[in-house]
Chains A and B, each alone.
Chain A
Amino acid sequence: MNLTLAVLLMLARAEPSRDTCRDCHAALEGPLAKPAVEFARDVHARSGFGCASCHGGDPTEEDPALSMSRARGFVGKIARTAIPRTCARCHSDAGLMHRFKPQQRVDQLAQYLTSVHGKRLARGDPAVATCTDCHGTHGILEVRNPQAPTHPLKLPATCGQCHADSRYMARYGLPTTQLAEYRASVHWEALSQRRDLSAPSCASCHGNHGATPPEVSSVAAVCETCHALLEELFRKSVHQPLFATMERGGCSVCHGHHKIERTSVDMLDGERSVCAQCHEPGSAGARLAAEMGRRIRELRVALDRSDQILARAARDGMEVSEAVLGRQEAREALVRARVAVHTTNLQEVLAWTKHGMAVAQATRQAGEEALRERDRRRMGLAVSLCAIGLAIAGLWLKLRSLESNRAGQ
Chain B
Amino acid sequence: MEQAEPVKKGGRWQGWLEERLGWDRLSEFLAHKKVPVHSGTLWYYFGGITLFLFGIQVATGILLLLYYRPTAAEAYESVQFIVTRVEFGWLIRSIHSWSANLMVLTALIHMFSVAFLRGWRRPRELTWLSGVLLLGLTLALGFTGYLLPWNTTAYFATKVGTDLAGSVPLVGPALARFLRGGDEVTGATLTRFFGFHVALLPALMTALLGLHLALVQRFGISTPPLLESRGDVPQMPFVPNFVLRELMAWYLALGALGMLAALFPWPLGDKADPFAPAPAGIRPEWYFLAAFYTLKLLPSRLWVLESEQAGLIGLGLLALWWATLPFWGVRPDGRERTRLVTGTGVLLIAWLSTFSVLGYIE
Q: Which residues of chain A have a CB within 8 Å of any CB of chain B?
A: 317-319, 321-322, 377-378, 380-381, 384-385, 388-389, 391-392, 395-396, 398-399, 402-403
Per-residue CB contact flags for chain B residues 239-258 toward chain A (1 = under 8 Å, else 0) read 01100110110011011001
- Complex CA gap A377/B248 in Å reads 24
Residues of B within 8 A of A395 (CB): 244, 247-248, 251
Looking at the assembled complex, report how far the CB atom of A404 sits from the nearest CB atom of chain B, in whole angstroms. 12
Give, as a whole number of angstroms, the nearest-CB distance from B244 to chain A.
Answer: 5
Stretch in B116-124, B194-202, B259-267, B329-337 touching the partner: B259-267
Top 4 nearest A-B pairs (CB, nearest first) are A317-B265, A381-B262, A388-B255, A319-B83
Q: Does B262 lie within 8 Å of A399, measured CB to CB?
A: no
Interface residues of chain A: helix, strand, loop or mixed (majority): helix
Pick the contact of A391: B245, B251, B258, B267 (CB < 8 A). Answer: B251
CB–CB A318/B265 < 8 A? yes
Q: Given A381-B263, A385-B255, A391-B251 in contact, is the A399-B80 Cβ separation under 8 Å?
A: no
Asked, given contacts A392-B251, A395-B244, A395-B251, whether A381 binds B259 with beta carbons under 8 Å apart, the answer is: yes
A321 to B152, CA, bound (A): 14
Closest B residue, CB atoms, query A382: B262
Additional 11 contacts, C-beta under 8 A, given A317-B263, A388-B252, A395-B248:
A319-B90, A319-B265, A319-B268, A321-B268, A380-B262, A385-B255, A388-B254, A388-B255, A395-B247, A396-B248, A399-B241
Residues of B within 8 A of A384 (CB): 255, 258
Q: Can you list 12 pairs linking A and B with CB atoms under 8 Å apart?
A: A319-B83, A378-B262, A380-B262, A381-B258, A381-B259, A385-B255, A385-B259, A388-B251, A392-B248, A399-B244, A399-B245, A402-B241
User: Chain A residue with minimal CB distance to B236?
Assistant: A403
Q: How close is B151's CB to chain A, nearest CB, in angstroms?
A: 11
Report B44-99 residues with CB < 8 Å from chain A CB: 80, 83-84, 90-91
Residues of A within 8 A of B263 (CB): 317, 378, 381
A59 CA / B205 CA spacing, docked (Å): 86
Q: How far is the CB of A190 from chain B (nearest CB, A)?
A: 23
Chain B residues with Cβ under 8 A from A317's Cβ? 263-265, 267
- The B6-39 residues at the A interface (CB cut-off 8 A) are none
Chain A positions within 8 Å of B245 at CB level: 399
Asked whether A398 lies within 8 Å of B244 as measured between CB atoms, the reply is yes
Q: A319 with B80: in contact, given A377-B262, A381-B263, A385-B258 (CB under 8 Å)?
A: yes
Q: How far is the CB of B327 from chain A (nearest CB, A)?
A: 39
Instruction: Determine which of B83, B240, B252, B265 lies in contact with A392 in the assembled complex, contact meaning CB atoms within 8 Å.
Output: B252
- B residues in contact (CB < 8 Å) with A: 80, 83-84, 90-91, 240-241, 244-245, 247-248, 251-252, 254-255, 258-259, 262-265, 267-268
Within 8 Å CB of A388, what residues of B? 251-252, 254-255, 258
What is the CB-to-nearest-CB distance from B249 to chain A, in angstroms, rounded to a whole number? 9
What residues of chain A lie closer than 8 Å to B90, measured between beta carbons?
319
State A319–B90 Cα separation when bound (angstroms). 9
A145 to nearest B CB, angstroms? 27
Q: Once the chains are docked, how many angstroms separate the CA of A319 from the CA of B269?
A: 9
A402→B248 contact, CB < 8 A? no
Q: Which residue of chain B has the shortest Cβ distance to A399 in the bound complex?
A: B244
With a 10 A CB-CB cut-off, give which of B91, B259, B262, B263 has the most chain A CB atoms.
B262
Report the separation of the CA atoms of residues A389 and B245 in the bound assembly, to the nearest whole angstrom: 14
How far apart are the CA atoms of A385 and B262 in the complex, in Å? 11
Neighbouring B residues of A321 by C-beta, 8 Å:
80, 268
With a cutoff of 8 Å between Cβ atoms, the chain A residues found around residue B251 in the complex are 388, 391-392, 395
Which chain A residues border B259 with CB–CB below 8 Å? 381, 385
Question: How close is A125's CB to chain B, nearest CB, in angstroms?
Answer: 53
Q: Is there contact, CB below 8 Å, between B241 and A322?
A: no
With beta carbons under 8 angstroms apart, the residue of A322, A392, A396, A399 that contacts B84 is A322
Shortest CB-to-CB span from A86 to chain B, Å, is 48
- For A381, list chain B residues within 8 Å (CB): 258-259, 262-263
Q: How far is the CA of A381 from the CA of B262 in the complex (A)?
A: 7
A317 to B93, CA, bound (A): 13
Which of A378, A388, A396, A402 has its CB near the most chain B CB atoms (within 10 A)? A388
Q: Which residues of A contact B241 (CB under 8 A)?
A: 399, 402-403
State how many angstroms separate the Cβ of A366 from the closest Cβ of chain B: 10
Tell me the bound Cα distance from A391 to B90 in angstroms.
25
Q: How far is the CA of A403 from the CA of B245 in the complex (A)?
A: 12
- Distance of B248 from chain A, by nearest CB (Å): 5
Q: A399 to B242, alpha carbons, bound, how many Å? A: 9
Residue on A nearest B268 in the bound complex, by CB = A319
Q: How far apart sit A56 and B142, CA to CA, in the bound complex (Å)?
A: 77
Smallest distance from the beta carbon of A244 to chain B beta carbons, Å?
46
Residue on A nearest B262 in the bound complex, by CB? A381
CB neighbours (8 Å) of B91 from chain A are 377
Contacts of A377 in B (CB 8 A): 91, 262
**Distance between Cα atoms of A377 and B89 in the complex (Å):** 12
Tell me, in angstroms, the Cα distance from A318 to B263 when the chains sit together. 10
In the bound complex, what is the Cα–Cα distance between A399 and B268 (angstroms)? 42
- A327 CB, nearest partner CB in chain B, Å: 15
In whole angstroms, how far apart are the Cα atoms of A396 and B252 in the complex?
12
Chain B residues with Cβ under 8 A from A378's Cβ? 262-263
Residues of A within 8 A of B267 (CB): 317
Determine the distance from Cα of A321 to Cα of B248 in the docked complex, in whole angstroms. 38
Least CB distance from A321 to B in Å reads 7
Chain B residues whose C-beta falls within 8 Å of the C-beta of A322 in the assembled complex: 80, 84
In the assembled complex, the CB of B144 is this many whole angstroms from the nearest CB of chain A, namely 23
> Closest chain A residue to B94 by CB distance?
A317
B84 CB contacts on chain A under 8 angstroms: 319, 322
B224 CB to closest chain A CB (Å) equals 22
Residues of B within 8 A of A380 (CB): 262
What residues on B are CB-neighbors of A398 within 8 Å? 240, 244
CA of A381 to CA of B265, assembled, Å = 12
Residue from B83, B84, B247, B258 with most neighbouring chain A CB atoms (10 Å): B84
Taking CB as reference atom, which chain B residue is nearest A396? B248
Question: How far is A377 from B349 in the complex, measured between Cα atoms in Å?
Answer: 36
* Chain A residues closer than 8 Å to B248, beta-carbon distance: 392, 395-396, 399
Residues of A with C-beta under 8 A to B255: 384-385, 388-389
The residue in chain A whose Cβ has the minimal distance to the Cβ of B270 is A321
A318 to chain B, nearest CB (A): 7
